[in-house]
Homo-oligomer: A and B are copies of this chain.
Amino acid sequence: MLSRIDHVGIAVRDLDRAIQTYERLLGLRVSGRERLEREGIEVALITIGESRIELITPLNPESKVEKFLQDRGEAVHHVAYATDDVAASLERAAAGGAQLLDAVARPGTHGTRIGFVHPKSLCGVLTEFVEPDGKPGT
């Protein structure tokens, strides 16, 4: 079951500038940055309530986020929901007719398990399920 918005991912051209902008204009604070070499992205994390804003920039021309930026410009890239069972969430979506980008759950960062649904299945919104590390619900 989906319990909360885990994060909203925003594709940005210049991560340093985006961090400064979100901190200065919104009074938010970036708690960390991570380079995800396998995904070809660098991410800045902003915790807000039970959710996060993730500012995402491509590390190379082959990154899917680079293609997104070329097609759409800076914008919300995806919305992620916390779930206690990412496999079950993917199965429910598929049973409902969704096109899955991950047929089965795969490892995310920090021990999470994740899976993506194609944006065309959910009104243009690339959608991620995130199952936290450790006990569900904690």
Contacts and interface: CB of A to CB of B under 8 A. Distances in A.
Contact of A1 (B21, B27, B51, B53): B27
Contact of A27 (B2, B97, B122, B125): B2
A43 to B, nearest CB: 13
Copies in the complex: 2
A67 to B, nearest CB: 15
A23 to B, nearest CB: 9
Given A26-B81, A50-B50, A122 B4 contact: no
A125 B75 CA distance: 6
Contact of A3 (B49, B122, B123): B49
A123 B1 contact: no
A24 interface: yes
A116 B73 CA distance: 20
A121 interface: yes
B48 A5 contact: yes
Interface of A: 1-5, 8, 10-12, 18, 21-22, 24-28, 48-51, 53, 55, 72-76, 79, 81-82, 89, 92-93, 96-98, 117, 121-125, 127
9 contacts: A2-B48, A5-B5, A5-B49, A5-B53, A8-B8, A10-B125, A26-B89, A27-B92, A76-B79
